[in-house]
Amino acid sequence: MRIEITKNKVFLKLPKKKLEIHPLWLRERARLDNLHDKNTDQRLYDPSELNTNLKIKKASVTNGRLNINFNDGIKFNYEIKELFYEFNKNLPYENPILWNSKLKEKPLAHYREHMFDTINMYDLLQNFYKYGFVIIKKTPTDENFLVKFANSIGTVRPTNFGTTFKVRSEKNYNDLAYTNHHIAAHTDNPYRKPVPCIQLLHCIYNEVEGGFSTVVDGFAIAEYLKKKNKDLFNILSSTKVRFRFVDKDIILENWGEIIELDDSKNPKHIRHSPRLDYVSILDKKKLEKFYKARRLFSKLCASKKFELKFKLEKGDIIMFDNHRTLHGRTTFNQSEGKRFLIGCYIDHDSTEGKLRFLERKFNLKWKK
């Protein structure tokens, strides 16, 4: 990828094509003091009011900068690396790494006081996006700490369970999470609009036999199905399923595919919660194929090939992408000890925004 100039026209040269860059596209990105607010990086004008016949009077490239003189009198020098960053639609995190039970080293971070705006937080968030989860070790076990930690990244998102929710065995419960039952791999709250993006669970104590945590890379299972059984992959990625939650105070419903794809037909969002899903009435043969596909998906989630099992220790926080990583737990005997976790949700824009801030702070933006 490179910039070329021909007769005061600016082109983006790609491996297989050459794209002329519209003068208005460049003009909107001219960050002059009288055009942009320094504090917010917001424009001080409406770009839709620019002259549609705007042209480039003069263009040149020197020392990695694109120098443009427009016919409306504006002159600006663009950093070419910054333009390339935008052309590539770069996200602030590195490419995901798909994994299964053979993952040799779980992504870990060690809590440090005042780590929230440090390079350690940057590395923590990169690992979170690469693997879909990260475990933060040796955090304070104060029951209010999780909200402080989560708010250091973004903003906690309350639900009908509260700002936080307490995961322990209860006599009166409105979800099986609040029992000592085995919980199969699932994604949380697929019945919400929108579905919570990121879940954090803080282990206050875990003194029971059993009660192991499990995580599964839903994207890895989707890719496995895509390669090994494309027909079943297609039915899971094209069939809308209704997810429903009911208690005495509220009824929540939402629809979505078990495997939702992005524009490039890659996995974007996994919704899997067999306790809560209801497929529509479809042609019998299509339903037979759907049930076969869902059964295989659940079987793979519980298989030794994909399931990663470990025990959270006192002070551990596990943070996972609820649109990618399925989680569960093994059964435990509550008479043998105590198991108490506190959970909350935050959104993807929280972590992406934090990463972009840390990129800027440590001048890491162009390292990719």
Report the share of the chain in percent with pLDDT over 90: 75
Right CATH for 2-90 from 3.40.50.2030, 3.20.20.70, 3.30.2020.30, 3.40.710.10: 3.30.2020.30
pTM recorded for the entire structure: 0.88
Q: What is the mean pLDDT of residues 303-318?
A: 96
pLDDT value at residue 82:
84
Q: What is the mean pLDDT of residues 164-188?
A: 71
Q: Which residue has the tokens 């791999």?
A: 185
What is the H or E stretch that residue 246 is in?
strand 241-246
Q: Which residue has the higher pLDDT, 70 or 161?
A: 70
Band (pLDDT 50/70/90 cuts) for residue 174 is very low
Q: What does the radius of gyration of the chain's CA atoms come to, in whole angstroms? A: 25
Instruction: Classify 108-358 by CATH class.
Output: alpha beta
Domain segments of the chain: what residues?
2-90, 108-358
Band (pLDDT 50/70/90 cuts) for residue 15 is confident
Burial (Cβ within 10 Å: 0-12, 13-18, ≥19) of residue 114: exposed
- pLDDT tens digits, residue range 205-257? 888 888 899 999 999 999 999 999 999 999 999 999 999 999 889 999 999 99
- pLDDT tens digits, residue range 96-154? 999 999 999 999 999 999 999 999 999 999 999 999 999 999 999 999 999 999 999 98
pLDDT value at residue 95:
86
Between CA 278 and CA 283, with CA 280 as vertex, the angle to 5 degrees is: 135
Strands ordered across the beta sheet of 108-110? 108-110, 133-137, 317-321, 198-206, 339-346, 165-167
pLDDT value at residue 182:
77
pLDDT value at residue 179:
62
